[in-house]
Structure 1
């Protein structure tokens, strides 16, 4: 059973498992189907917060539960309470659980001197934030802690994903370049000389890791990222190539001149890059798609979603996190100086 099957990761995960011979129940709040799923996939409605509904859907038991939307200690205990009816689990976590050993991590990035100084690349034995419920990162750390402590009863592979990309994303960072190109903006600004690296994770690559972990149950934590971590300048160039446009990039030394000028969703002061060696060794992981090769379908999906509606209506989650992505007036005023 795949919980969260209707989302960005769930759709390719269901397809990958079905192709691998699993009899898949695709559970989501809406209970819908994806056009790429085989007919034999069983789609069901599920409210992730309803303990009884989850237990009823698992029924007498299933070999594998893939939980893409689990968050916090409560969801972990929800799964471990059903451990006698679940063979193994694969649960999606996040790289934002990592800290640099001095208390700095994703939650401190906006603070003075709060940018984490991670090793390059970050391995799975890097320290993590304390479990809790104060932030997204601490909640995911709590999820991991509970599941790992119950590994003898419910073998669980935890996949720490990076900046997830691909169609059906609620937080499509690629929109930063795609919308500018669609709007005819042929000049853009990037902070930190465009050299920021924030490791992306293709939804299709995460689905491949899920498929591999499904046939190799165990209690483990693995990074779940793409083979390379391109710079933000390289990402912009790849989007341009996918869209067939030419642009000029103005590079700024140091941080963005203002929150609405030069600050992309990947703009970090220090590199955030993750080691994929453990997944290769333990699961035989090989990425199924590179960042550049994945872009055409992402660009096409974003273009269709933007058609006829404001970007904040099309992507409200992105607008909440990055409200100043497209302040063209501020950019033009900065260029004028």
Structure 2
């Protein structure tokens, strides 16, 4: 059973498990299905906020429960209460649970001197933030804590992806370059010399990790990222190659100047995660590289955007980066 099956990660997870021989029940709020799924995939509606809905859906039990939308300790208790009816589980968390030696994390990035100085790469043994109550990251930490505390109920693999990318994203970072190219912008500016690195996680690689963990049940926490961490400049060049354009790129030595130079990858220090544990424990190898994944992502973004306002299409992205396409500021910067 896959909870959150029609989301960005859920679609390839259902596909990967089906191809591996699992009989899959795809649960989501609307009970929809992806056109690429095998006809044998069963689709059901699930609103987990209804207290007994998940337990009723599991019924007498399932060999594997994959939860892609678990958020907090309450959701963890929903899962662990199914002891005796679930063979094993795979649950998605987030790398945002990590903090550095000074207590800085994703939650402090916007504060003065708040950007975390993580080791490169970050291993799963890195300290994590306090559990519960204040933010998405705190709630994810509480989710992990409650799952692992009840981990003797059945084997639970917790996966921590980073900057998730691929079709059906509510936060498509690649839009920064794709929209500029579609708008025939032939100049752009990247902060930090275009050398920022923020580890990406392709949905198909996350699905591969789910598939491998399903075949090797165990209680563990693993990073769930791609095998490479391209710089912001390398990401732009790869997207340009897919779209067949060659824009001019200028660089700021330091941080963005207002909106100029700001991208979803503009970070002053590298954010890179170690994947050796997944390789060692699951035999993980990425099924797609960042560059190989881009044609699918670019095609989906182009179709989703169409003639619509990007803020209407992707409100979460607009909320986080409201000035992502401030062309007037860029033109003024170039003129100066």
**In the comparison of the two structures, how many residue pairs are matched?**
336
Task: Output the CA distance in 2 between the equivalents of 1:217 and 1:301.
Answer: 34
What is residue 105 of structure 1 aligned with on the other side?
105
For the 8 Å contact 1:204–1:288, the answer to whether it is kept is: yes
**DSSP 3-state at the match of 1:51:** coil
Alpha-carbon offset, residue 154 of structure 1: 2.5
**DSSP 3-state at the match of 2:319:** helix
Q: Report whether the alignment pairs 1:9 with 2:9.
A: yes
Where do 4+ consecutive residues of structure 1 move more than 4 Å?
A: none
Task: Output the CA distance in 1 between the equivalents of 2:277 and 2:109.
Answer: 27
Alpha-carbon offset, residue 53 of structure 1: 1.4
What is residue 294 of structure 1 aligned with on the other side?
293
Unaligned 5+ runs, structure 1: none
For the 8 Å contact 1:161–1:224, the answer to whether it is kept is: yes
Task: Output the CA distance in 2 between the equivalents of 1:184 and 1:176.
Answer: 13
Normalising by structure 2, what TM-score? 0.99
Task: Output the CA distance in 1 between the equivalents of 2:235 and 2:305.
Answer: 20
Normalising by structure 1, what TM-score? 0.99
Alpha-carbon offset, residue 142 of structure 1: 0.4
What is residue 146 of structure 2 aligned with on the other side?
146
What is residue 218 of structure 2 aligned with on the other side?
218
Farther-moved stretch of structure 1 (174-183 vs 129-138) = 129-138
Instruction: Give runs of aligned pairs for residues 52-201 of structure 1, distance below 5 A.
Output: 52-201=52-201
Alpha-carbon offset, residue 261 of structure 1: 1.1
Instruction: Give runs of aligned pairs for residues 19-38 of structure 1, distance below 5 A.
Output: 19-38=19-38
Task: Output the CA distance in 2 between the equivalents of 1:154 and 1:136.
Answer: 26
Task: Output the CA distance in 1 between the equivalents of 2:51 and 2:244.
Answer: 49
Task: Output the CA distance in 1 between the equivalents of 2:56 and 2:48.
Answer: 12
Q: Report whether the alignment pairs 1:322 with 2:316.
A: no
Alpha-carbon offset, residue 48 of structure 1: 2.5
What is residue 236 of structure 2 aligned with on the other side?
236
Task: Output the CA distance in 1 between the equivalents of 2:286 and 2:150.
Answer: 29
What is residue 331 of structure 2 aligned with on the other side?
332
Alpha-carbon offset, residue 51 of structure 1: 2.4
For the 8 Å contact 1:72–1:133, the answer to whether it is kept is: no
**DSSP 3-state at the match of 2:84:** helix
For the 8 Å contact 1:99–1:128, the answer to whether it is kept is: yes
What is residue 268 of structure 1 aligned with on the other side?
267
What is residue 285 of structure 1 aligned with on the other side?
284
Alpha-carbon offset, residue 334 of structure 1: 1.6
**DSSP 3-state at the match of 2:318:** helix
Task: Output the CA distance in 2 between the equivalents of 1:276 and 1:149.
Answer: 24
**DSSP 3-state at the match of 1:209:** helix
Alpha-carbon offset, residue 240 of structure 1: 0.2
Alpha-carbon offset, residue 310 of structure 1: 0.7
What is residue 311 of structure 1 aligned with on the other side?
310
Task: Output the CA distance in 2 between the equivalents of 1:162 and 1:177.
Answer: 20
**DSSP 3-state at the match of 1:43:** strand
**DSSP 3-state at the match of 1:293:** helix
Farther-moved stretch of structure 1 (49-58 vs 153-162) = 49-58
**DSSP 3-state at the match of 1:113:** coil
Task: Output the CA distance in 2 between the equivalents of 1:31 and 1:133.
Answer: 30
Task: Output the CA distance in 1 between the equivalents of 2:99 and 2:57.
Answer: 37
1:43-77: per-residue Cα shift (whole Å, max 9, x none)? Answer: 11111322211111101101111000000111001
